[in-house]
Amino acid sequence: MKIAVVGGGIIGLSTAWQLLRRGAGVTLYERDRAGASTGDVAAGMLAPYAEVGFEELNLMKLGQLSLERYPQFLEELREDAGFVPELDTCGTLLVGVDRDDAQQVRRLYDFRKQLDMRIEMISSAEAREREPLLSPRVVTAAWLADDGQIDNRKLLSALLQAFRNRGGQLREQTPVDELVHRSDRVEGVRAGGKTHPCDAVVIAAGCWSDRIAGLPATAQPMIRPLKGQILTLKQTTDCEPVCMIRSPRVYLVPKSDGTIRLGATSEEKGYDTTPTAGGVKELLEDGWELVPSIYDLPLEEVRTGLRPAGRDHAPSIGYAGVEGLYYATGHYRHGILYAPVTAFSLADEIIENRPHGQLKEFSPLRFKKQ
Ligand SMILES: Cc1cc2nc3c(=O)[nH]c(=O)nc-3n(C[C@H](O)[C@H](O)[C@H](O)COP(=O)(O)OP(=O)(O)OC[C@H]3O[C@@H](n4cnc5c(N)ncnc54)[C@H](O)[C@@H]3O)c2cc1C
């Protein structure tokens, strides 16, 4: 079976590699450089518990499912790439510095308790025992033991290596302009002025997914970009956080490469990726409020990424209404977390014709126009 995957981000690479493992011939088209897009900007949190919002129960379950599948994903990746990043289950401290924050942390705690998550309210003294760098201004804290994180940049390098080692064909600097299909059947993709025939196409082009011509009007992915600015600070011996720390406004994620990711803004600015003074100021102020010793850290990077957000903020994964056409897009704030569940289930669906029941509610056809 010949499959074209459009987009070389975390989702396209993971899916393409899993399809190769199941014996398909895969060509991956990337308009720029594979692995260099939003997944490279991300903080690398695998945090279904800290991140779940009040109306996002389905997303929490998807995140849980994907986190459970991470060990298998990494084991297979080690076989094919020869190296993988470590899955770090360091946990999250959810903290607040004033009365408004305290109420919000309490509400977040109550909601998680109702869902039977492992979460405990702890005193600010206990929070400082867990994380000595916390500001004395922290007045409220909850501990979530089950959240993890990963070096997302190393993960992308491993996926690229595994894709190559498994014999995948990589076409970089090659945007796909159009899906070619006739009478409800995919025939190929159009790129570089030519039609490249194939049996199936996976659209994994992040927030650019619905800019590809020829996608069926009956199941448009309806993805919009949500801009996120994020900073990378270099740790020093005076400032080496041991766990992820988040308040209602900001998060700090200590990475195994000796940096801290401090993020992130969430802005409706279309496809604009310009970093702004205001964004950087807010992140630094909010981060400093939680961990004052970041003040002296070298600022290594200011990065901006575009989260691919669907209409309902849930991903679209699976068959898209034309024979041979599949979507893997709209992963919004959780593409690193959802990579295993997306890749495993889509590969099952495409190769073994076995749609994953638990992913039914993320079908691209849920937006189908009647
Ligand atoms: C600041 C920030 C922090 C984040 N932190 C986290 C986190 O901690 N944990 C987490 O799970 N998620 C996080 N995310 C979200 C995560 O990064 C995204 O959900 C994920 O990267 C989306 O991956 P993707 O492969 O779908 O899209 P992308 O990474 O955007 O990749 C899409 C690729 O498709 C290519 N492309 C587009 N159009 C075409 C075309 N026509 N032809 C060929 N190629 C094309 C693009 O060049 C790009 O390489 C964060 C995002 C941001 C911005």
Statement to judge: residues 261 and 349 lie in one domain: no
**What residues does 144 pair with on adjacent strands?**
92, 119
Burial of 178: CB neighbours in 10 Å, binned 0-12, 13-18, 19+: middle
CA distance 332 to 208: 12
Q: Which of 333, 341, 342, 362 to mutate to test the pocket of ligand 1 (most atoms within 8 A of CB)?
A: 333
Q: How far is the CA of 155 from the centre of ligand 1 (A)?
A: 13
Statement to judge: residues 172 and 61 lie in one domain: yes
CA-205 nearest atom, ligand 1 = 34
pTM across the whole model: 0.97
Query: What pLDDT tens digit does each residue of the chain (370 aa) get?
Result: 999 999 999 999 999 999 999 999 999 999 999 999 999 999 999 998 887 777 778 898 999 999 999 999 999 999 999 999 999 999 999 999 999 999 999 998 998 888 888 899 999 999 999 999 999 999 999 999 999 999 999 999 999 999 999 999 999 999 999 999 987 899 999 999 999 999 999 999 999 999 999 998 888 889 999 999 999 999 999 999 999 999 999 999 999 999 999 999 999 999 999 999 999 999 999 999 999 999 999 999 999 999 999 999 999 999 999 999 999 999 999 999 999 999 999 999 999 988 888 899 999 999 876 5
CATH code of the domain covering residue 188: 3.50.50.60
> Which residues form the domain of 345?
2-83+152-223+311-367
Statement to judge: residues 357 and 269 lie in one domain: no
Statement to judge: residues 105 and 50 lie in one domain: no
Statement to judge: residues 261 and 231 lie in one domain: yes
What is the number of structural domains in the chain? 2
Statement to judge: residues 182 and 291 lie in one domain: no
What is the DSSP secondary structure assignment for residue 267, as one 8-state letter? B
Statement to judge: residues 157 and 303 lie in one domain: no
Site residues for ligand 1, CB cut-off 6 Å: 6-12, 29-32, 37-39, 41-45, 175-176, 204-206, 208, 212, 228, 230, 263-264, 305, 307-308, 329, 331-337
Q: How far is the CA of 102 from the centre of ligand 1 (A)?
A: 33
CATH code of the domain covering residue 262: 3.30.9.10
Q: Quick check: 178 and 214 in contact, CB under 8 A? A: yes
Statement to judge: residues 284 and 187 lie in one domain: no
CA distance 51 to 55: 11
